[in-house]
Amino acid sequence: MTVRLSQRVQRVSLSANAAAKSRATELRESGRDILDLTTGEPDFDTPEHIKQAACAAIAAGATKYTPTSGVKALRVAVQRKLRQENRLDYPLESIVIANGAKQIIFNAFAATLDDGDEVVVPTPYWPSFPDSVRFNGGKPVFIECALAEGCKLSPGRLEQHIGERTRWLILNGPGNPSGAVYNAAELQVLAEVLRRHPRVLILLDELYEHIRFDGQSAQSLLNVAPDLQPRCLLVGGVSKTYAMTGWRIGFGAGPQVLTTAMTVVQSQSTSGASSVGQAAALAAFEGGLDFLPAQVAAYQQRRDLLVTTLSDVEGLEVLEPQGGFFVFVRCAGLLGRFRPDGQRLTCDADVVAYLLEEGVAGVAGSAYGLSPWFRLSIATSTDNVAEAGRRIAVACGQLRGEP
């Protein structure tokens, strides 16, 4: 029997991050010494009070179905968090909980895109952005944001790429994979463009909001352009700040007509998010952020180690991240060189494959729409980051101009 796959599923592919992680895991399980710098998963454990809250919820019998839009107490906690941490006010009806921030994004596109509608996606991008658009019948429109621009979107290029079918703009900050952070002036000029196009919705992915290295508090487009709030979907969650990737709880805050439609979509796919996960997320939002400065300091130390080491490597150009879990590296200077075994490096995938052979697992920049680059995660131990930098430097030093 031949299984006929839909055109919809054939538009998308397995997450490159997941594929790279899987390959690194396979090699490690086979006995290879591989440093895994593929995924943005904190190496810190979920804070103890959050785990205890989940255990208490189980003991109390909070193991039943949950409301599709989320448990009310958690939505109230998100509402309070947005007011206190982000200086943003939302009615409770405008807040929805899902099985991770990825589902919030997917539900939003499912609720708003018709076939052929366009979504502006700055490059480099998180791979799930364009694939979520494609799966829901839309067309991603890419704007390359190069190294010279700090991998940030410029207002002129945004203006050029908004057309009659544009439904959304995606803004991700701190960026994945770039680590780019927009300042108030940069956000303001983007807002000026968006005001000229009132039909365009704005998706603000701010998962890494508290993982910043500039000493500043989290700042959103809505803090400098509050008039755009009726057109924005703010996406957040607990995965990165609270080291809760496996708990699968994300939230969206936006216009009520949108969050209501997103709830309808979710009601016909997964229904409400895990009761235990929501109890843990409630404890996270109610427990404060006292633990976070030490973790951010560790991420910054790892960033500095890796950036310093790789900046001295001939053939590499490093974009110093201002936030997030990643260091994004341009490797154009390595292309055309030969590995010790005589193989020629022709693209960033070749570079990543070579580094994997030398004991460091990363992800090719092509997965994020920008080549030739590669991404390395600093969400692993400081020792691993330091050793990974050393191995990459040694590996690059072994390359030759002739086979």
Q: What does the block give as tokens for 197?
A: 């196009």
In the predicted structure, residue 250 carries a pLDDT above the cut 80 = yes
Q: What is the mean pLDDT of residues 395-403?
A: 92
Q: What does the block give as tokens for 86?
A: 């982000």
Distance, in Å, from the CA atom of 345 to the CA atom of 285, rounded to the nearest integer, reads: 47
Distance, in Å, from the CA atom of 111 to the CA atom of 103, rounded to the nearest integer, reads: 12
pLDDT recorded at residue 287: 96
More confident residue, 147 or 207: 207
Report whether 96 contacts 141 (CB < 8 A).
Answer: no
Give backbone dihedrals phi and psi of 90, rounded to 5 degrees, phi first. -135, 140
In the predicted structure, residue 136 carries a pLDDT above the cut 90 = yes
pLDDT recorded at residue 208: 97
pLDDT recorded at residue 230: 98
pLDDT recorded at residue 313: 98
Give pTM, 2 decimals: 0.96
CATH of domain 7-45+292-397: 3.90.1150.10
Distance, in Å, from the CA atom of 171 to the CA atom of 220, rounded to the nearest integer, reads: 10
pLDDT recorded at residue 17: 80
- Could you report the per-residue pLDDT of 20-63, keeping only the tens digit for each? 888 888 988 999 999 999 999 999 999 999 999 999 999 999 99
Buried b or exposed e, range 142-178, using 16+ CB within 10 angstroms: bbebeeeebbbbbeeebeebbeeebbbbbbbbbbbbb
- Could you report the per-residue pLDDT of 87-98, keeping only the tens digit for each? 999 999 999 999
pLDDT recorded at residue 179: 96
Report whether 363 contacts 375 (CB < 8 A).
Answer: yes
pLDDT recorded at residue 27: 87
Report whether 345 contacts 337 (CB < 8 A).
Answer: yes
Q: What is the mean pLDDT of residues 219-228?
A: 96
Q: What is the mean pLDDT of residues 333-344?
A: 97
- The pLDDT confidence band at residue 218, using thresholds 50, 70 and 90, is confident
Domain extents in the chain: 7-45+292-397, 48-286
CATH 3.40.640.10 fits 48-286, yes or no: yes
In the predicted structure, residue 191 carries a pLDDT above the cut 90 = yes
Residue (of 115, 108, 160, 149) closest to 134 by Cα position: 115
